[in-house]
């Protein structure tokens, strides 16, 4: 589960400084977390003086493997020899 930054953020930038994965960057109004990069280490959350960083529970679960492949043809053709 990634972290996300709420509107409590005052754009101080210290979370971006401590993120080891470069997942935090300055957004339009607040700093933002790139969920694809976030490893959920929690350093940004501990470092934020404004308590603006929380777990992002809306992150979708990883996609499942998808549809199973259709069963192949395994039937042997019976050729009747006469």
Residues that bind ligand SF4 (CB under 6 A): 3, 5, 9-15, 18-19, 21, 23-24, 30-31, 33, 38-44, 47-48, 50, 52-53
| Cβ–Cβ under 8 Å, residues 9 and 31 | yes
Q: Which two tokens stand for residue 79?
A: 């050729």
Closer CB to ligand SF4, residue 14 or residue 58?
Answer: 14
Closer CB to ligand SF4, residue 21 or residue 59?
Answer: 21
| Cβ–Cβ under 8 Å, residues 9 and 30 | yes
Task: Tell me how far apart the alpha carbons of residues 31 and 73 are, in angstroms, rounded to a whole number.
Answer: 54
As measured in angstroms, the least distance from the Cβ of 48 to ligand SF4 is 3
């Amino acid at each position: 589960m990634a972290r996300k930054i709420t509107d409590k953020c005052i754009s101080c930038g210290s979370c971006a400084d401590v993120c080891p994965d470069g997942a935090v960057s300055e957004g339009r109004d607040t700093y933002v977390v790139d969920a694809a990069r976030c490893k959920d280490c929690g350093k940004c959350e501990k470092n934020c003086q404004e308590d603006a960083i929380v777990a992002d529970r809306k992150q979708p679960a990883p996609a499942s493997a998808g549809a199973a492949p259709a069963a192949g043809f395994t039937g042997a053709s019976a050729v009747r020899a006469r």
